[in-house]
Amino acid sequence: MSQALLEGVKFDEKGLVCAIAQDAKTLRVLMVAWMNAEALRKTAETGFAHYYSRSRQKQWMKGEESGHTQKVHELRLDCDGDAVVMLIEQAGGIACHTGRESCFYRVWREGAWQVVDAVLKDETAIYGKTQA
At residue 78, the pLDDT reads 97
d(CA 55, CA 42): 20
At residue 3, the pLDDT reads 83
Phi, psi of 113, rounded to the nearest 5 degrees: -80, 120
pLDDT in tens, 47-100: 999 999 999 999 999 999 999 999 999 999 999 999 999 999 999 999 999 999
- Side-chain-side CA neighbours of 52 within 13 Å: the count stands at 18
- Three-state DSSP state, 92: helix
Q: Which fold has domain 2-127?
A: Ubiquitin-like (UB roll) (3.10.20)
pLDDT category at 128 given cuts 50, 70, 90 is confident
